[in-house]
A and B are shown apart, each in its own frame.
Chain A
Amino acid sequence: MFPLPQKESRAPATCLGSATTQDVVSSYQDGLGRESPGKPDQKLPGLYGVGDPVSKFSSDSSCLSSRGRVIKWFWDSAEEGYRTYHMDEYDEVKNPDGIINLGTSENKLCFDLLSRRLSQSDMLRVEPSLLQYPDWRGHPFLREEVAKFLSYYCKSPAPLKPENVVVLNGCASLFSALATVLCEAGEAFLIPTPYYGAITQHVYLYGNVRLAYVYLDSEVTGLDSCPFQLTVEKLELALQGATSEGAKVKGLILINPQNPLGNVYSPEELQGFLGFAERHKLHVIVDEVYMLSVFEESLGYHSVLGLERLPDPQRTHVMWATSKDFGMSGLRFGTLYTENQEVATAVASLCRYHGLSGLLQSQMAQLLRDRDWINQVYLPENHSRLKAAHTYVSEELQALGVPFLRGGAGFFLWVDLRKFLRQGTFEEELLLWRRLLESKVLLSFGKAFECKEPGWFRLIFSDKTHRLRLGMQRLRQVLESKSQETEDVPPPTTPRTPVSSADEVAFACGRRLLPPKSSLGAARGPVMMCRTETL
């Protein structure tokens, strides 16, 4: 959700040496002097990297401790865009020249439905017992509802158990708690990039855990591949690479549906990744927070909890929250499902810091229980609005000649603005981002997602039409003037990252619908927009 920029950007660095296993706080001084090479590692070009969240930190004096200064600096850089936005928010009446936020991944399309539901009388019942210190794992009535809910929507082969459920105030807390109980300070989780950048902070703040990146790129290498495709081979290589640099990798984080790509993993892929983790005795944390936001049914979403058999159930931990699927990121409610009682207990031990008020627990249980409203009112309407907004923005992008991943899940489009950069560098990416912000439209730039290639941006479309329209208009203005500049300026001396022919095809194909499930094996094509469902 927040961009994670450094003030000057460079190509993704493979941060080496002493920083990898030591406490990051004590190693920040390494970061001061170290220059990122700007070149991928010789042996395994650009396939992995070990993150050092504070490599660009520079100290300043204040009342804060050393780690306090690091935290503050980190926060300062991460929130720049959002601070700017909050000081000048668009409002059609009060501030029509304000900034349109197409950067925060939030579903603004269904507040009306949600407000109405949450204002109903069953939500307003307050019993005195709810006001007292709650059971830290979460009230049993809520955990039962969560178990039933997940059993139903994840299509689990067997009913899920309430004792395997832990509830906390959001997925951020879950990441933090899992990092703390699964890893020692300085250890790492593998994560494919691009990924939702806020996770870096979530695992680092208390957990002091870093991320080891599995770099994916947009190049399409074969008939069966898609841009930014994760494979077991890439995981193996990245694990090998990270380990060779001294990183102690304890787990793998998978986000499914993917943020920012908007795509989903097939059951075969999931089995493959879980099998990889099992072979290396890694924990797998699966973030399924967009599970009910798959508005393109043909994508065919599968939850990990819906698989017939998990390779390593004791090391598989699934998280979900209401923040995205129910458009209420302000409500702060997240759940963890794991068969591993040790992990559940350890996470629950930290619940007192991440607790939920009894009132909210009661409301959430009511909401999750209301299958009728969810299936007949909310989901159909939500999906239809998301689809419409997605279509609108896709068409605008096509008209602009901007390639993008079609996605079909979540609230975002992963957009390729590489050709609008004078040079294929992160500095240029940041300049474009700033230019857009100055033109009053906020997007998220790719570096915040640790994308290997400069020039990718995440654009949120889950907003009301009038805001989207204005946002796209402003985007168009900037891109058109950038195109003009690019034409006027002589060709850059450093070659830009080659753009595959598939990219050019992407927008021209438009919205190609997938073949129905019955015709398996239909041609998938090289287009970066499709994911064929195979059963």
Chain B
Amino acid sequence: MSSDRDQETSDRSQGPSPRQHDQPCGQESDAEAAGLSHSLSHRGVDISAFYNSYFQAYEAYQSSKFHLDLNNLGFFHLDVSENKLCSDLMAERLCQKDMDDVEDIQLQAPNPRGHPFLREAVAQFLTSYCSAPECLFSRNVVVLNGCSAVFSALSMVLCDPGDCFLVPTPFFSGFIFGTKMCTNVELIPIHLETEITDEDTLPFQLTVGKLEQALLEAKTQCKKVKGLLLPNPQNATGHVYSQESLKEFLEFAKRNDLHVVVDEVYMLSVFDDSVQFHSVLSLERLPDPQKTYVIWSISKDFGLGLGALYTPNEDVAFAVSPFSYLHSISGIVQYHLRCLLRDRDWIDRIYLPAVHSRLRTAHAYVITTLRELEVVHNFKIFFHSRSCGLYLWINLKNLLEPCTFEEELVLYRRFLDHKLILSRGQSYLLKEPGWFRLCFAENPDKLELAMLRFGQAIAEQKQYWIQKVVQYIPELEETDSSSSDDN
């Protein structure tokens, strides 16, 4: 996708930037030497280069993680969406007696698709938490070591090289890395964003109309669209789809003979009790069960690597099996997962309530901080505070002058200079500059420090913005932020 390559080149062409001295040595040169290698194949070189440009920030973080005592200048990672809030509870649970058992089966050659005891536990878990009308069977379950692995394996068996999947934005363009490099499947973004005009604008709304349009556009470009990837809940705003909406999307897919891969990875992260999550598996009847696949992951919820695939299509479940050796989960981890999933009591009474409560608190804290910053710096931040998921998409267009991706990158780098890693909209294939993603599922102490740094960065950005504006409109000393929508 050209926008990603642009970003890549623009990143590299910016010249030495403050963050570079934080990176491990040799990374820049890998990217530079992208065209030439005595050891690697062309795709090997591409893989390294792609990885470096998309995951540079992550590498920087890894090389200098923030630890309260040791490294006060380290990076805060508010980017990768993982739930750090309840690692303590999880750690405690994993040390309990039932986790001690190391049985032979855990050590033995892995059963393809995952040990039956785990698949059974996953089937029962999903039956319960997805409110499935009938019991789900373990033979329709495959477990791999993560949701990227599941999607990768699915792409291999559902698509031929060059085929396409429609994916609503925002989605992480690094996702393209895996599908392009490994499976040769093209991801076509369905652009959902609408221009933010006021606080009531609902961004990232998925409608059947937009699906139809995206499909039509793809076809006119002679793309072979094989399927649709549907995040549920909606991954940008945490919007929870109604059963009717889900049905409509599935009917659309059926009409157009598309596979539908429903990504329900954040299913347990709905922290507002008044909101009811609907899984695709809760529907009385699936329009096209043989082409419906649900991905669920435990990495987000429980911090252990598991990606589960559920599909009524046994043929596909079978075809995905060979990938289980490449994306395998350790027998010991499978055993731990089984123990966890079966412990409904602990999940319902201890873990989920704690997760939800901590997410609510963290979410509220971040919202409050953002509102305060608005007042202090006199500008509007747009966001939709839905009660689901681990992160918040905020639009900082009012601090960008002009509102372009170049300026978005400047702000991104400013956050990095303040040792804060946020995701920015361009890496998520958004068309409108100014979007940033902030993962708030972080421990209170760290979150407070992170938001402090965020505030500092914002303050700096505001000054910078003022200078820019004054540059263009010298007769004005300071512009009211509400009229800054002048791009």
Residues of chain A touching chain B, judged by Cβ–Cβ distance below 8 Å, are: 1, 23, 25, 62-69, 71-72, 74-76, 78-79, 86, 104, 106, 108, 111, 114-115, 118-119, 124-133, 135, 169-170, 172-173, 176, 180-185, 187, 198, 201-202, 205-206, 250, 283, 314-315, 327-333, 340-343, 345-346, 349-350, 352-357, 359-360, 363
Contacts and interface: CB of A to CB of B under 8 A. Distances in A.
A114 B183 contact: no
Contacts of B318: 72, 75-76
Contact of B332 (A71, A343, A363): A363
Contacts of A353: 145-146, 148-149, 152, 178, 182, 326-327
Contact of B99 (A64, A74, A124, A357): A124
Given A25-B160, A75-B321, A180 B100 contact: no
A72 to B, nearest CB: 4
Interface footprint category on B: 35 or more
B385 interface: no
Interface in B87-104: 87-88, 90-91, 94-95, 99-104
Indicate the member of A76, A133, A283, A363 with the most B CB atoms within 10 Å: A133
Nearest to B42: A184
Indicate the member of B47, B157, B325, B329 with the most A CB atoms within 10 Å: B325
Contacts of B104: 108, 111, 115
Nearest to B259: A63
A169 B161 CA distance: 26
B331 interface: yes
A497 B315 CA distance: 41
Interface of B: 26, 30, 37-45, 47-48, 50-52, 62, 80, 82, 84, 87-88, 90-91, 94-95, 99-112, 145-146, 148-149, 152, 156-161, 163, 178, 181-183, 226, 259, 290-291, 299, 302-305, 313, 315-316, 318-319, 321-323, 325-333, 336
Contact of A349 (B51, B106, B160): B51
A115 B41 CA distance: 42
Given A63-B313, A126-B94, A132-B87, A201 B145 contact: no
A343 B303 CA distance: 29
Contact of B110 (A184, A330, A350): A330
A151 to B, nearest CB: 23
A124 B100 contact: yes
A181 B50 contact: no
A75 B322 contact: yes
Indicate the member of A187, A198, A329 with the most B CB atoms within 10 Å: A329
B39 A343 contact: yes
Which 8 pairs between the two chains have the least Cβ-Cβ distance?
A330-B331, A68-B157, A181-B44, A128-B87, A131-B303, A349-B51, A72-B319, A328-B107
B258 to A, nearest CB: 11
B325 A172 contact: yes
B108 A329 contact: yes
A67 B160 contact: yes
Contact of B91 (A66, A126, A180, A333): A126
B54 to A, nearest CB: 10
Contacts of A342: 30, 37, 39-40, 44, 48
